[in-house]
Amino acid sequence: MESSSKVPENEVEVDHVDMLNASFDGYGGVIVNVKEDMDENIFTTLLRTSISQWRQQGKKGVWLKLTIELVNLVKPAVKEGFWYHHAEPTYLMLVYWIPETNHTLPPNASHRVGVASFVVNDKGELLVVQEKSGVFKGTGVWKLPTGTVEEVCNFFFFFFVTLFFFFLTKNQTDQVLCSQGEDISVAAIREVKEEAGIDTEFVEVLAFRQSHKSFFSKSDLMFVCMLKPKSFVIEKQDSEIEAAQWMPVEEYSNQPFIKKHKSFDYIAKICMAKKDNKYVGFPALPTATATSAKKSYLYSSYQEE
Amino acid sequence: MESSSKVPENEVEVDHVDMLNASFDGYGGVIVNVKEDMDENIFTTLLRTSISQWRQQGKKGVWLKLTIELVNLVKPAVKEGFWYHHAEPTYLMLVYWIPETNHTLPPNASHRVGVASFVVNDKGELLVVQEKSGVFKGTGVWKLPTGTVEEVCNFFFFFFVTLFFFFLTKNQTDQVLCSQGEDISVAAIREVKEEAGIDTEFVEVLAFRQSHKSFFSKSDLMFVCMLKPKSFVIEKQDSEIEAAQWMPVEEYSNQPFIKKHKSFDYIAKICMAKKDNKYVGFPALPTATATSAKKSYLYSSYQEE
C-alpha cells in the first residue's frame, strides 16, 4: 500500500497537504495534534481522508486534541463521529474508533484525591486550623489541615526549572510544567506548609476514605497522613485560614462535630492511637512501575525480615 | 432589585424568555442546563443578559453543561469567556468566573483508580490470569486479576432499575445511571467474577501504589485487595483472558518478571506474608461523609478496644 509509507510507525509527522498531522502510538492508536486554525470545511475533508487512510492501515482509536483556541473545529469533529474523552481548562480531547467492534479506549480519570494531615509536636499537641471558606466556615470547628493533590507539582524547584527552560524553548516549558502529578506525601507536606507555615516530613498514611458523587458524578479519595513536624512556630496563611494553633489531641477529638460524625470520630481515634504508638499505618516505599521507569510509591505496612 | 426575585435561591428554574434556564447552588454558583438546541446568536444574547443579571446578584462561578448534541453552542460560549472544566463521552462542562478575583472553582478529577485482587483458596493456591491484550500480552507472565474502578456501577441491579426508570422518564434514567461511582471493594469483586468466574468477598486493602503520567498527564492509584473465595471452579472470560488458574503463591512470586520489578516483588512478598497471617492491611468500615449523608468507606487497620 503506497499510503502506508506516508505515515511511518516511529512518531514521524505527516505533512502531506491531504492528511492531518499525526503520530502513531504502540497500541494501534493515532494521535492528531492540530497546531493551527483552519477552515471548518477543509478540516472536515482532511479528517475524512485521514480516517480513510488510517482504516486501510488497520488503525483503531483516533485521539484528537483541540486547544481552546481551536474551538471552531469541535463541531465538525463531532459531526464526523468523534466524541468527548476528557477536557482540561486549555484543551478538549476527542476520540474516534475506526473498527466495527466496541472500543477499548482507556477511561477518563474518575477520582479527585485529597489529603488530611496529622501533625503532633513533642508536647502531644495537634496542629489544627479553621478555614475562611467552605462548609466549615463560621462553625468554629477545628480541623486537620487538608488540601487537594495537584495534577502538576508546584514546587519552587519546578518554578526555577520552568524559568530556566522558558529561556530555551516554550515547548519544553510545557513539558516540565506538565511532567508529573503530585505524590500524596508531597501534597500533605505542601498543604501544612501553605496553611500553617510548619515544615514537616512524611511518616505514613494512617487511613483513607473513598466517597462518591462529591462533584458531578466524580468520586473522592482522601488520605489521612501522619507528618513529623520539623518547625513549630505557626505562620498562618491569611487568604484561606481564619486561625491555626497547636491543640491537645483529646481537645480536638472531643469536639461535638467530630464525635457526631462516624468518619471524623474514627479518624480522631486512629490519630490518638498513633500518638500513643498503638497503631501502624502504611509508610511509602519508592518503586517504579513495571512497564516503564516512571517513579511510583507503594504504601503498605510490610517490613522485610 | 427586581431581578433577584426572578431567580430565587432554592433551585427554582428561571423560565423568562430573556434569561437562560438555571439553578443556584449553595456556594454562589449558577448551574445552567441547556435542554434544547437553539440558534447560536440567540444563545450568545441570552448568555450575556444572564451573566449581567447574575453579576448584579453577586453570583460567582457559572457551570454550563452542554450535551454532545448541543456541540454548536460550545464555540459561542468560549467566545463569551467560558473555558473547559471537564468532559465525559456525552457532555462537556464549561465554566465562567464572574468576579474580578481569581477563581476558586474545584479542580477536575486527577486520578484513575485500579484494583488488583489477591485471592487464595484453602490449598494456599493463588488465582492468576494471563491477558489477551495490553503490555503483558504474549509474555507468559501470570498476574493478579486487575481492572479499573468504574465511575458508574454496572450491576444487574442497576440495569433493572435503569430499565424500570426508562419507562417512566428519560431524565430519571440518566440520574440512576450516574448515581454513584464504584467502591474499591466492589470493583475488586466484580473484576474477579468477570475474568475468572469466581465469587468472592472483600477482606482488606493490602497495599496501594500511586504512579504518575500514565495517560495524558493524569495519575494512577492501584489498590491491592485481598478477597476470600466463595467458589472455586474457574470459568474464564474469553474476550480478555487468555488463561486462568489456581497456582501456588510461591510459584507466582518466583516468576522472573515479578522478581525483577521492585513494585511487583514487594506486592508478592506482602501477599505471601498475608497468606501466613503475618500481615495486617486496611479493612473497610462503612461510614458517611460529614457534610452529607453520602455513603463512604474508611480503610484502616484500627480496631476499637
Predicted local distance difference test score (pLDDT) of residue A292? 62
Contacts of B273 (CB under 8 A, 6+ apart): A302, B279
Residue of B209, B210, B218 lying closest to A109 (CB–CB): B218
Subunit contact B180:A93, Cβ cutoff 8 A: no
Nearest to A109 by CA among B215, B38, B93, B97: B215
Do A282 and A157 lie in one domain? The reply is yes
Do A87 and A135 lie in one domain? The reply is no
For residue A76, pLDDT beyond 70? yes
To the nearest 10 degrees (0 to 180), the angle between helices A170-177 and A156-166 is 160
Residue A104 lies in a domain: no
Residue B84 lies in a domain: yes
For residue B9, count CB atoms less than 10 angstroms from its CB and return exposed for 0-12, middle for 13-18, buried for 19 or more.
Answer: exposed
* Residue B208 Cα to chain centre, angstroms: 17
Do A92 and A128 lie in one domain? The reply is no
- CATH classification of the domain holding A20: 3.40.630.30
Cα–Cα distance measured from residue A50 to residue A82, given in angstroms and rounded to the nearest whole number: 14
Cα–Cα distance measured from residue A263 to residue A261, given in angstroms and rounded to the nearest whole number: 6
The CB-side HSE value for B213 (13 A sphere, CA atoms) comes to: 16
CB of B273 within 8 Å of any CB in chain A?
yes
Nearest CA in chain B to A207: B300
Nearest CA in chain A to B27: A134
Subunit contact B213:A180, Cβ cutoff 8 A: yes
The CB-side HSE value for B37 (13 A sphere, CA atoms) comes to: 5
Cβ–Cβ pairs < 8 A, chains A and B: 273
Alpha helices of chain A — where are they, by DSSP H?
40-56, 74-79, 156-166, 170-177, 184-196, 249-253, 256-260, 262-275
Cα–Cα distance measured from residue B118 to residue B268, given in angstroms and rounded to the nearest whole number: 9
Cα–Cα distance measured from residue B245 to residue B233, given in angstroms and rounded to the nearest whole number: 9
Residue A77 lies in a domain: yes
Predicted local distance difference test score (pLDDT) of residue B104? 79
Which residues from A are below 8 Å from B298, CB to CB?
A: 207-209, 263, 266-267
Contacts of A1 (CB under 8 A, 6+ apart): A56, A57
Q: How many domains does chain B have?
A: 2
Which residues from B are below 8 Å from A208, CB to CB?
A: 208, 282, 298-300
B102 and B209 in contact (C-beta within 8 Å)?
no
To the nearest 10 degrees (0 to 180), the angle between helices B156-166 and B170-177 is 160
Which residues from B are below 8 Å from A279, CB to CB?
A: 301-302
Complex ipTM more than 0.85, yes or no: no
Predicted local distance difference test score (pLDDT) of residue B214? 54
Do A150 and A73 lie in one domain? The reply is no
Predicted local distance difference test score (pLDDT) of residue B108? 81
Give the N- to C-terminal CA distance of chain A in Å, as an integer. 60
Contacts of B81 (CB under 8 A, 6+ apart): B96
Residue owning grid cell 474508611: B298
Give bridge partners of residue A150 from the DSSP assignment.
none
Give bridge partners of residue B244 from the DSSP assignment.
B129
Do B86 and B172 lie in one domain? The reply is no
A215 and A108 in contact (C-beta within 8 Å)?
no
Residue A183 lies in a domain: yes
Q: Is B194 a catalytic residue?
A: yes
CB of A217 within 8 Å of any CB in chain B?
yes
Give the residue, A133 or A62, on which the prediction is more confident: A62
Residue A120 DSSP code? B
Do A196 and A126 lie in one domain? The reply is yes
Predicted local distance difference test score (pLDDT) of residue B209? 94
For residue A152, pLDDT beyond 80? no
CB of A112 within 8 Å of any CB in chain B?
yes
- CATH classification of the domain holding A132: 3.90.79.10
For residue B219, count CB atoms less than 10 angstroms from its CB and return exposed for 0-12, middle for 13-18, buried for 19 or more.
Answer: buried
**Where among A72, A97, A122 does a domain terminate?**
A97
Give the residue, A304 or A287, on which the prediction is more confident: A287
Residue B57 lies in a domain: yes
Do A179 and A154 lie in one domain? The reply is yes
Cα–Cα distance measured from residue A298 to residue A295, given in angstroms and rounded to the nearest whole number: 10
Predicted local distance difference test score (pLDDT) of residue B253? 93
| In chain A, residues 71-100 whose CB comes closer than 8 Å to chain B | 71-72, 74-75, 78-79, 83-93
In chain A, the percentage of residues whose pLDDT exceeds 90 is: 57
For residue B75, count CB atoms less than 10 angstroms from its CB and return exposed for 0-12, middle for 13-18, buried for 19 or more.
Answer: middle
Q: What are phi and psi of A44, to 5 degrees?
A: -60, -45
Cα–Cα distance measured from residue B90 to residue B75, given in angstroms and rounded to the nearest whole number: 17
Q: Which of B80, B194, B240, B242 is catalytic?
A: B194
CB of B180 within 8 Å of any CB in chain A?
yes
Predicted local distance difference test score (pLDDT) of residue B240? 85
Q: Which amino acid is at A83?
A: W
Identify the domain containing residue B26 by its residue range.
2-97
Grid cell in block for residue B161: 432499575
B239 three-class SS: coil
Residue owning grid cell 469466581: B198
B230 and B187 in contact (C-beta within 8 Å)?
no
Do B85 and B169 lie in one domain? The reply is no
Contacts of A143 (CB under 8 A, 6+ apart): A128, A129, A130, A131, A136
Helical (H) or strand (E) element with A22: strand A22-24
Do B167 and B271 lie in one domain? The reply is yes
Residue A294 lies in a domain: yes
A171 three-class SS: helix
Count other C-beta atoms under 10 Å from residue B12's C-beta.
11
Subunit contact B88:A71, Cβ cutoff 8 A: no
Cα–Cα distance measured from residue A103 to residue A98, given in angstroms and rounded to the nearest whole number: 9
Residue B105 lies in a domain: no
Predicted confidence pLDDT, tens digits, chain B (305 residues): 333 333 344 444 444 457 898 988 877 899 998 988 999 999 999 999 999 999 999 999 999 999 999 999 999 999 999 999 999 899 999 999 999 888 878 778 888 899 999 999 999 999 999 998 777 888 889 999 999 998 754 444 344 434 444 444 333 333 333 346 899 999 999 999 999 999 999 999 999 999 886 556 678 899 999 999 999 999 999 888 999 999 999 999 999 989 988 889 999 999 999 988 899 999 999 887 656 657 789 999 998 76
A111 three-class SS: strand
Residue of B178, B218, B266 lying closest to A285 (CB–CB): B266
Residue owning grid cell 454550563: B64
B282 three-class SS: strand
Q: Tell me which of B80, B118, B148, B217 to substitute to probe the interface with A (most A C-beta atoms closer than 10 Å).
A: B217
Do B87 and B190 lie in one domain? The reply is no
**Where among B52, B75, B97 does a domain terminate?**
B97
Q: Lowest-pLDDT range, A2-16, A27-41, A123-137, B149-163?
A: A2-16
Residue A305 lies in a domain: no
Predicted local distance difference test score (pLDDT) of residue A110? 84
Q: Which amino acid is at A208?
A: F
Do A89 and A129 lie in one domain? The reply is no
pLDDT tens digit string along A245-299? Answer: 999 999 999 999 899 888 899 999 999 999 888 999 999 998 876 566 577 899 9
* Residue B127 Cα to chain centre, angstroms: 26
Do B117 and B83 lie in one domain? The reply is no
Give bridge partners of residue B288 from the DSSP assignment.
B295
Q: What is the mean pLDDT of chain A?
A: 83
Contacts of B223 (CB under 8 A, 6+ apart): B113, B114, B115, B116, B184, B188, B205, B207, B208
DSSP-assigned letters across all residues of B60-71 = -EEEEEEEGGGG
- Strand B218-229 with B111-119, pairing: parallel
Q: Which amino acid is at B12?
A: V
Predicted local distance difference test score (pLDDT) of residue B10? 43
Predicted local distance difference test score (pLDDT) of residue A105? 82
For residue A11, pLDDT beyond 90? no
Cα–Cα distance measured from residue A155 to residue A163, given in angstroms and rounded to the nearest whole number: 12
Which residues from B are below 8 Å from A149, CB to CB?
A: 110-111, 219
pLDDT tens digit string along A154-185? Answer: 444 344 434 444 444 333 333 333 346 899 99
CB of A64 within 8 Å of any CB in chain B?
no
Residue B120 DSSP code? B
